[in-house]
Amino acid sequence: MFTPINRVFIETIDKDRIVFYKNEQPVSFETYMNDVAKYACYFNTIQNDNVVIYIPNDLYLFYVCFMAALQAGKDVILPALLTEQNSRPLLEMTNVLITDKFDSLKGFNIIDLNCGNNINWQFNDMSDRFLYFFTSGSTGTPKRIKKQFKMLAAEEDFHGRNQKHLIEQNPVMISSVAPYHMYGLLWRFLFPLANGIISDLDIVFTPEELQHKQSIYDKVLFATTPSFLDGITRYQNQYYFRNNCIGLYSSGSLLDAKTSNNAYQMFGASPYEIFGSTETGGVASRQQINGQEWTIFTPVKVTLTENSELLIESDFSCANPYLMSDIVEKTGNNTFILKGRGDRMVKIAEERVSLPEMEEKLCEYKYIEKSYVSTLSTKDRTIICAAITLNDDGKNYIIKNGRHQFITELKQYLLNYFPNVVLPRKIRIVNAIPVNTQGKYIKSDIASMFESNVAEPIMQNITKTDSKFSADLIFLKDSSYFNGHFPGHPILPGVIQMHFVMTFIKQYFNKEATNYHVLKLKFSNLILPDTQIYFELNKIDDNEFTFEYSHNGNSCSKGKIVIEA
């Protein structure tokens, strides 16, 4: 049995065992230990007690430098993203930067990673060292969280015992998450390392990459996020995955029941969801195949405030007790159901409204798949806004009856549960509600939806691969961009066609273009409202895409996008 992570370097274990696959080649514990020792000797010469580590291009080097810095008595600062623009808060803490990304960055002393070969290092306990995380957040303003390493070590030790039945099957850990936030650091790095599980160091970005990893290993554990699972299960008819995923982990936000069930159908494993926060660590878990209840981890003590908010005490938490904003309903001594967040109760015209309750009622409507409700402050009042996605029946209904009738009937439905004064004043029908890599809603992107009058087309028959996206699009006649273009004979403007080309490049290939060129652009036929248009987007390489809109096999427009690196 392997020792917990904070002692794994101190006690004698099998140095020949494989701990990582780097480019699918094995790396032994002895090799890793020697590399950590070499860099620990090197980092020990750094005078500053705090160091920033940002190594996005070499995950093995990150794992080496992370442990080496702790061994050298440094507190480690982990930004999820580092740029000139967001570096100021880090410079207030230290000017020492360990990176493979930059040759220079204003204000930082960048440590040369070409160090010597001195491995004469006495490994020591790292429990009292501190880590600084920056929550991904959803507002664009990350929050800095300080935690002692022993808090992660305690949580890893618990999960190692709790997941022993899977560990004993000798799986390989694969992952779609990076280790710069607590969930990624714990589950894709510390948990496998301390429990004798080999980690594949490649980050899985696409379904094809996941299929490949499953094809080369006998059994796998997969650490991922709700956004990845939601994206991959949308195309469940396009992909076949081997039935060798014995553990499927998810955290960051809640999985909806449909995604959880689809993931179970695709992988043969019900996602093991972890509920908690960077501040508290893990609090509870659930697998929705067993229901919606969350089971509290045995080392965690939970009490409820008079407002039914969670009060947490555990060795995983950075403060005890720690008040969470989540409202729950206790269903047993160690189980509860989440009811939403206390900070999502708002008052509109003297009426108190639970935004999660409105989301729940929206999702119960026969035509809606997902919803996100927020508030928007105007000059003289605060209003409620709703972003929704439609199920197949909803898409067919709105194509037949139009957006205006759909929204009228939706508001009539909501009047069964809410007074008229609090009904959403802005409703955006979208094909996907923006989330970040951890599956949390991106509030700034959602807010921009309500500032725009550009209505998305209805999308059906979506297919997505590594290099291609296609869908049938219908631009509804009551969309604002048909107004005046042209009176009595509405056609889709070319600028709107290009707008959605760039939108799809960002949405489906995660490529946001600030500067780009359009080559070989050709408009051949008109795109009329309420007409089914086939759209195809092909990725040539990371910075080149071709696109075409067509109707009944006849091209309407096509061209090439070249994005400046």
In the chain the domains, ranked by start, together with CATH numbers, are 1-149 (3.40.50.12780), 349-449 (3.30.300.30), 458-563 (3.10.129.10)
Helix (H, G, I), strand (E, B) or coil at 291: coil
Question: What is the phi/psi pair of residue 452, to 5°?
Answer: -105, 145
3-state class (DSSP) for residue 307: coil
Name which of 157, 160, 166 is nearest 270 in CA terms.
166
Closest CA to 214 of 239, 231, 189: 239
Q: Could you give the CA distance from residue 504 to residue 540 in angstroms, rounded to a whole number?
A: 15
- The rounded Cα 256 to chain-centroid distance in angstroms is 14
For residue 253, give both structure tokens. 């936000």
Check if the beta carbon of residue 39 is closer than 8 Å to that of residue 64: yes
Counting every residue written for the chain, the total comes to 565
Q: Are strands 130-134 and 144-148 parallel, antiparallel or unpaired?
A: antiparallel
- If you search the block for the tokens 């076949």, which residue do you land on? 240
Nearest CA among 221, 226, 220, 229 for reference residue 263: 229
Going residue by residue through the chain, which has 565 residues, state the pLDDT in tens, using 9 for 90 and above.
Answer: 334 565 666 665 678 899 999 999 999 999 999 999 999 999 999 999 999 999 999 999 999 999 999 999 999 999 988 988 889 999 999 999 999 999 889 999 999 998 878 888 999 999 999 999 987 544 446 789 999 999 999 999 999 999 999 999 999 999 999 999 999 999 999 999 999 999 999 999 999 999 999 999 999 999 999 989 988 988 888 889 999 999 999 998 889 898 999 999 999 999 999 999 999 999 999 999 999 999 999 999 999 999 899 999 999 999 999 999 888 999 999 999 998 877 787 888 778 888 988 999 999 999 999 999 999 887 778 899 999 999 999 999 999 999 999 999 999 999 999 999 999 999 999 999 988 777 778 888 888 888 888 999 999 999 998 899 999 999 999 999 999 888 889 999 999 999 999 999 998 998 888 789 999 999 999 999 999 999 999 999 989 999 999 999 999 999 999 998 7
Nearest-angstrom CA–CA distance, 28 and 21: 9
* 121 touches 37 (CB < 8 A): yes
The helix-helix angle for 392-401 and 403-414 (nearest 10°) equals 120
Task: Return the pLDDT at 2.
Answer: 39
Q: SS3 for 447?
A: helix
Tell me how far apart the alpha carbons of residues 30 and 2 are, in angstroms, rounded to a whole number. Answer: 15
The dihedral formed by the CA atoms of 189, 194, 195 and 200, expressed in degrees to the nearest 10 = 30
Predicted local confidence at residue 136, as pLDDT: 56
Question: Residues 6 or more apart from 206 whose CB is under 8 A from it?
Answer: 466
Maximum separation of any 2 CA atoms in the chain, in Å: 82
Give the separation between CA 92 and CA 359, rounded to whole angstroms.
40
**Can you give the pTM of this predicted structure?**
0.81
